[in-house]
Amino acid sequence: MAPVGAREQDNHYKVGARRHEEQRTKALEDLQRDYVAASAKGPSASLLKTWERMRTRMLGSTVPVFPLTPDKMTKVAAAFKALGYRSYANYLAKAKETHISMYGTWGPELSLEARLTTRSMTRGIGPVTQRMPLDIEKIIALQKTDPLGPNPVVEDGPCGAHNLAVIGVFFMLREAEASMLLYGNVMIDTHGQMVTLKLPSSKTDPAAAAVDRSWGCVCATHQKEGCPYHTAINQKENLLRIQRPLEP
């Protein structure tokens, strides 16, 4: 039988060892928690959620998302493609990171499948419609030969499409800003040949305090069809013609 003193000493070591173990675990947790910035945790989780949803679409919810296999990846990728997702690579990167953190490896068969599915994603999906460049010179040329006129080009479209394009380009307006612009927010200074737009100061809040932005007439160096001042005048005339003045 060991003397009491030795047993106490043994316990003492055990307590110490446990405390060290706890400290090591906490240190690791602290480190891992900050792998991802707090601000990125939301988006990061939502990437995985979307991946999970695609898994459910193609494989049902009972097939676990991880470990990833080439077959699972192919099917999930097919769902992304069918729904027209362009940023599949983003979702895949998150799934890969998660897979590696769980299983420690990313084999060549997964690498190959990742490459193939990513490549397929960008084919046959068509151009990014919202980011097509607007060739203002072509619109100006069109206006010279075959004026668009004040009426909407498409049903429920804006009136004076050409004016909208020119003003939009000169003042770098976003769609929401252009569509919120009222008759009274466009001020014409005929003496100084200037047009001034009252625009919301915040890009995300159309009701925010207004700031003034001005452009002068550029007809001296440009064509009249591409002049912000003259198109603004024309657009105000269009509006009066279409909607009639409010006062008799």
Smallest separation (angstroms) from Zn ion to the CB of 48: 54
Nearer to Zn ion, 86 or 222 (CB): 222
Q: Which is nearer to Zn ion, 51 or 229 (CB)?
A: 229
Least Cβ distance, residue 192 to Zn ion (angstroms): 12
Compare residues 117 and 143 and give the one whose CB is closer to Zn ion.
143
Q: How far is CA 79 from CA 53, 61, 65, 114, 196, in A?
A: 9, 14, 14, 14, 49
Residue 188 in contact with Zn ion, rule: CB under 5 A: no
Compute the half-sphere exposure of residue 84: CA atoms within 13 Å on the CB side of its CA: 4
Min dist. Cβ of residue 140 to Zn ion (A): 12
Phi, psi torsion values for 200, nearest 5 degrees: -65, 140
CB neighbours of residue 169 within 10 Å: 15
CB of 136 to Zn ion, least distance (A): 15
Q: Which stretch binds Zn ion (CB under 5 A): 20-28, 40-48, 205-213, 225-233?
A: 225-233
Residue 20, sorted as left (phi over 0), alpha (psi -120 to 50) or beta, turns out to be alpha
Q: Does 217 participate in binding Zn ion (rule CB under 5 A)?
A: yes
Rg value, the chain, Cα: 31
The verdict on 140 binding Zn ion (CB under 5 A) reads no
Between 88 and 170, name the residue whose CB sits nearer to Zn ion: 170
215 lies in the binding site for Zn ion (CB under 5 A)? no
**Shortest separation between residue 159's beta carbon and Zn ion, angstroms:** 20
- Evaluated on CA atoms 223, 229, 232, 233, the torsion sign reads negative
Residue 159 structure tokens: 């009136």
Q: Which is nearer to Zn ion, 14 or 222 (CB)?
A: 222
Q: Under the criterion CB under 5 A, does residue 230 sit at the interface with Zn ion? A: yes
Other beta carbons less than 10 A from residue 34's beta carbon: 9
Under the criterion CB under 5 A, does residue 219 sit at the interface with Zn ion? yes
By beta-carbon proximity to Zn ion, the closer residue of 33 and 222 is: 222
Q: Is 227 in the site for Zn ion (CB under 5 A)?
A: yes
C-beta atoms surrounding 29 within 10 Å: 10
Where does this chain touch Zn ion (CB under 5 A) — which range of 82-90, 131-139, 157-165, 209-217? Answer: 209-217
Strand-by-strand arrangement of the 210-216 sheet? 186-189, 194-200, 210-216
- Does position 195 bind Zn ion by CB under 5 A? no
Question: Quick one: 204 exposed, middle or buried, by C-beta within 10 A (0-12, 13-18, 19+)?
Answer: exposed
- Using CB under 5 A, list all residues that contact Zn ion: 217, 219, 227, 229-230
